Chains A and B, each alone.
Chain A
Amino acid sequence: MDATAQILFGGLFQGSLYAMMAVGLALIWTTIGVFNFTHGVMMMLGAYIAWTLSEIGLPFALVLPLVIVVMAAVGWALQASVVRPLIGRPNIVLVVVITTLAAASLIENATLEIWGPRSKQLPPLIAGNTTILGVGVSLHQIAIIVIAPVVLAALWFFLNRTRLGLALRAVAQNEDASLLVGLNVKALYGLAFAISAALAALAGIFMGGYRFMSPVMGADPLLKALIVVVFGGLSSVSGPIFAAYLIGFFEAICSYYFGLYWTPALLFAVLIVTLMIRPEGIFGSKSRGLA
């Protein structure tokens, strides 16, 4: 019972974080068709801004929406500076990889310069611990397990039930046709980046509440998000969400039975095998659409 509960909590918790990260990556891939390597530093930057805002004494209920707005603006600005000018070039996928990698290195080192190398920690969403099914868990982790699906459901609602969300999906499906019916494609690209950065920042705040923050804290989650989107298929937003929880559980099981050291290697082996058998991911279809 103890082992099952531990795996269950570990899987749900990691899965929630991965889902928050992966959805943002998938959103940008489906709408613009590029891969955003700044996603990890967006997460880190969100956590650092939240730290500064809570240091100057703002209540956490105010910090959270403020960070989301600021990071959405950062995401928009990033898109306008290193992605939008390249759209239409034949080798855009590759060039965006390098510009976003460079931007990530820029932001990471700027963070180091501004905030210094000392590790920091955010206050947890809810303080305290509890015991469920014989396993001690912090209320912070439980809060994340509860909040993440709500956020993801809200995103699903936005993409499927609102005009703006539908417009975003339209751009993802057929850019030329969207342009013809009068959608502002450039603004929608910016919107995709803004939402993605805000989601990453939220994940960063979640993570900063239980782990020490450092300028490189986003690297590992970015890697995991990459695996998740490949595993789930890049063609949808719901695929990566399922895949995130699946991988969360896979990791929890692996690290329980094989140890933490072998988990990443096993994960990558599974990834490579998945791609050999189903290159479009386990939940993917062959087309590039959204939701």
Chain B
Amino acid sequence: MTAPIPVSAIPSSPGRASWRKEAAAVLVAFAVLALLPFVVTDSYSRHVLIMAFIYAVVASNWDLSLGYGGVFNFGHLALFGIGVYAYGLLTKFAGIDPWFAMALSGVIATIAAIVVTIPILRLKGIYIILVTFGFAQLVMQVILSQSDYTGGTQGMVRIQTLYIGEHNMIRDGKFAYFYIALAMLFLSTVFLRALVRSRIGAGIIALRDNEEYAVSRGVSIVRQRIVTLAASAFFTGVAGAFYAGYQRNASIDVFGMSLATIILSMVLLGGTSTIYGAILASFVLTIFAEAMADLGAWRPIITALLIIGVMLVYPTGLAGFIQSSWNGVFRRDNKVA
């Protein structure tokens, strides 16, 4: 048994903002976002922002397992898909209250993440990619084959929406949905940042950086991997449920390669192991994709070129780009490796 270490005894790592500064910055950023619906009044632009928030939740949670944990979980989108279908099935066939179903979807995604962690405990690198990829396909096949409930390739339609009292969610220009999505992103971000800054987070990072040493110092690889995957799954599942309630339909497309590629590029474009980078990249890519909406087949082509370009020039992603230009402008020494 180790006695809890007083906070003052933990050396502050150089280049890392104190939690007060960080909390203040997050609050300011979300306050600005919360004011957006008063500037952006048409429902289509609000829809784009809501989608950006959903993607930001999924991408930033993926950053926890991929960036911090170093676990190449390619089944992350399956967790999102599980959230989508769990919400749809729970509200439609079990008659569960939409809000409760949303929380339950997060729990179900978490359980699924724990199940998929078991086979990958002994695996490394590319094998983890393949098993988790296989897991995603397995989930998709099961959903496809149970077409009596899930609608198979047709998907589910007319899923119950979320509600707030008697408020009409559909005719308010997506005003209420905007705030629900923003609240979800806020909770998820606070949760993720608190986790990675905690001692558990330090253990996760230690395992990624030097597995043998971390294990020899008493970090349990089994427990830490399960914690990483499970923690990254909850809000991903909730985001899936929100997506289902918001779009009012569920389709098998959420398991497709194209969505996985887009979200993965958000994580990598933003720069891994930052959480904020993934969120920022989600905003940039979603809005960018909407701006090119009438380009047809050229849109994915340009997106792909952009991804390749950034990966070749800025291996640390947008976060690294911002860091280096910040240092360039303010002539700070780059102490942080």
Contact = CB atoms under 8 A, between A and B. Distances in A.
Interface of A: 29, 35, 81-82, 85-86, 89, 91, 93-95, 97-99, 101-103, 105-106, 108-110, 112-113, 219, 223, 226-227, 230, 234, 261-262, 264-265, 268-269, 271-272, 275-276, 279
Contact of B145 (A98, A230, A262): A262
Interface string B115-155: 00011001101110111011101100110110000000000
A4 to B, nearest CB: 27
Contacts of A110: 297, 301
B144 A275 contact: no
Interface residue range, chain B: 35 or more
B138 A109 contact: no
Contacts of B328: none
24 contacts: A35-B126, A81-B308, A82-B308, A89-B315, A94-B72, A94-B268, A98-B268, A101-B257, A101-B261, A101-B264, A102-B307, A108-B300, A109-B297, A109-B298, A109-B300, A113-B301, A226-B133, A227-B134, A230-B127, A230-B130, A262-B141, A265-B141, A268-B138, A272-B138
B258 interface: yes
Given A95-B268, A264-B141, A113 B126 contact: no
B284 interface: no
A234 B126 contact: yes
Contact of B311 (A98, A109, A226, A268): A98
A136 B315 CA distance: 54
B25 interface: no
B335 to A, nearest CB: 20
Given A93-B126, A103-B304, A265 B145 contact: yes
Q: Top 8 A-B pairs ranked by shortest CB distance?
A: A106-B304, A265-B141, A102-B304, A102-B307, A268-B138, A109-B300, A268-B134, A113-B297
Chain B, interface SS category:
helix
B65 interface: no
Contacts of A93: 72, 125-126
A219 B257 contact: yes
A87 to B, nearest CB: 12
A272 B305 CA distance: 34
B312 interface: yes
Contact of A102 (B118, B119, B261, B298): B261
Contacts of A234: 126
A94 B138 CA distance: 22
Contact of B298 (A103, A113, A268): A113
B123 A265 contact: no
B265 interface: yes
B208 to A, nearest CB: 11
B129 A97 contact: yes
Contacts of A275: 119, 123, 127, 130-131
A29 B126 contact: yes
A213 B118 CA distance: 39
Interface in B273-297: 297
B300 A265 contact: no
Nearest to A265: B141
Interface centre among A35, A86, A272 (most CB of B within 10 A): A272
A82 B305 CA distance: 11
Contacts of B301: 105-106, 109-110, 113
A102 B122 contact: no
Contacts of A265: 138, 141-142, 145
Interface in B150-173: none
Nearest to B306: A102
Nearest to A271: B134
Given A98-B307, A109-B301, A113-B297, A264 B137 contact: yes
A99 B126 contact: no
Nearest to B135: A272
A105 B127 CA distance: 23
Q: Which has the most chain A C-beta neighbours within 10 Å: B304, B307, B312?
A: B304
A105 B261 contact: yes
Contacts of A109: 297-298, 300-301, 304
A223 B255 CA distance: 14
B329 to A, nearest CB: 26
B127 A279 contact: yes
A214 to B, nearest CB: 14
Contacts of B303: 102, 105
A128 B145 CA distance: 35
A102 B123 contact: no
A99 B123 contact: no
Given A110-B301, A275-B131, A95 B311 contact: yes
Given A89-B315, A95-B311, A279-B122, 19 more contacts: A29-B126, A35-B126, A91-B315, A94-B66, A95-B268, A98-B265, A99-B312, A102-B304, A105-B261, A106-B300, A106-B301, A106-B305, A223-B137, A226-B130, A230-B127, A261-B141, A262-B145, A265-B141, A265-B145
Given A110-B301, A262-B145, A99 B311 contact: yes
Q: Among A29, A81, A99, which residue has the most Cβ atoms of chain B within 10 A?
A: A99
Contacts of B122: 276, 279
A272 B304 contact: no
Nearest to B260: A101
Contacts of B272: 91
A105 B304 contact: yes
B144 A261 contact: yes
Contact of B119 (A29, A113, A272): A272
Given A226-B130, A265-B138, A102 B265 contact: yes
Nearest to A97: B129
Nearest to A227: B134
